[in-house]
Amino acid sequence: MKAVQLVGPRDLRVHEIPDPVPGPRDVLLKVAGAGICHSDLHVAHSEQPLFRRPVVLGHEVTGHVVDMGSEVAGWSLGDRAIVHLCWSCGECVACRRGDDNLCVATGRRAQPPAPGLGPDGGMAEFMKVPARFLVPLGDLDPVTSAPLADAAMTPYHAIEQSRSVLKPGATALVIGIGGLGHVGVQILATLPDVRIVALDVDELRLKTALTLGAHDTVRGCPDAAARVLELTGGLGADAVFDFVGNDATTATAVDAVAPGGMCQFSGLGGGSIPASAEARTGRGWPWGAWLRSSYGGTRTDLEACVRLAQEGRITIEVETFPLADALDAFRELERGNVRGRAVLVP
Strand pairing category for 318-322 and 341-345 = parallel
Question: What's the CA gap between 318 and 179, in Å, rounded?
Answer: 9
Q: At what angle do helices 326-334 and 38-45 cross, to 10 degrees?
A: 100
Q: Exposed/middle/buried for 273, CB within 10 Å: 0-12, 13-18, 19+?
A: middle
For residues 147 and 176, membership in a common domain is answered with: no
Question: What's the CA gap between 127 and 250, in Å, rounded?
Answer: 37
pTM, full prediction: 0.95
For residues 201 and 276, membership in a common domain is answered with: yes
For residues 208 and 326, membership in a common domain is answered with: no
Residue 191, pLDDT > 80, answer yes
CATH number at 198 reads 3.40.50.720
Helices (H) and strands (E) in the chain, counts: 10, 16
Question: What's the CA gap between 220 and 227, in Å, rounded?
Answer: 10
Closest to 301 (Cα-Cα) out of 141, 142, 161: 161
For residues 242 and 313, membership in a common domain is answered with: no
For residues 55 and 193, membership in a common domain is answered with: no
DSSP codes of every residue in 197-246: EEEES-HHHHHHHHHHT-SEEEE-STTHHHHHHHHTTTS-EEEEEESS-S
For residues 9 and 118, membership in a common domain is answered with: yes
Residue 130: what pLDDT?
98
For residues 142 and 237, membership in a common domain is answered with: no
For residues 66 and 148, membership in a common domain is answered with: yes
Task: Mark which of 253, 270, 293 sits at the end of a domain.
Answer: 293
For residue 310, give every residue at least 6 positions away whose Cβ sits within 8 Å of its Cβ, in sequence order, or none: 138, 139, 140
Residue 42: what pLDDT?
84
Helix (H, G, I), strand (E, B) or coil at 32: strand
Task: Mark which of 271, 293, 315 sits at the end of a domain.
Answer: 293
Q: What total of structural domains would you count in the chain? A: 2
Residue 173, pLDDT > 70, answer yes
Strand pairing category for 11-16 and 341-345 = unpaired
For residues 142 and 172, membership in a common domain is answered with: no
Strand pairing category for 171-175 and 216-219 = unpaired
Q: Tens digits of per-residue pLDDT, 150-165?
A: 999 999 999 999 999 9
For residues 283 and 311, membership in a common domain is answered with: no
CATH number at 316 reads 3.90.180.10
Q: What is the mean pLDDT of residues 325-343?
A: 91
Question: What's the CA gap between 51 and 56, in Å, rounded?
Answer: 12
Instruction: Assign 187 a pLDDT band (cuts: 50, 70, 90).
Output: very high
Q: Tens digits of per-residue pLDDT, 96-148?
A: 999 999 999 989 999 999 999 889 999 999 999 999 999 999 999 999 999 99
Question: What's the CA gap between 176 and 244, in Å, rounded?
Answer: 6
Q: Tens digits of per-residue pLDDT, 260-310?
A: 999 999 988 889 998 887 777 777 889 999 999 989 999 999 999 999 999
For residues 147 and 35, membership in a common domain is answered with: yes
For residues 187 and 276, membership in a common domain is answered with: yes
Domain containing residue 323: 2-153+296-345
Task: Mark which of 250, 276, 293 sits at the end of a domain.
Answer: 293
Residue 49: what pLDDT?
66
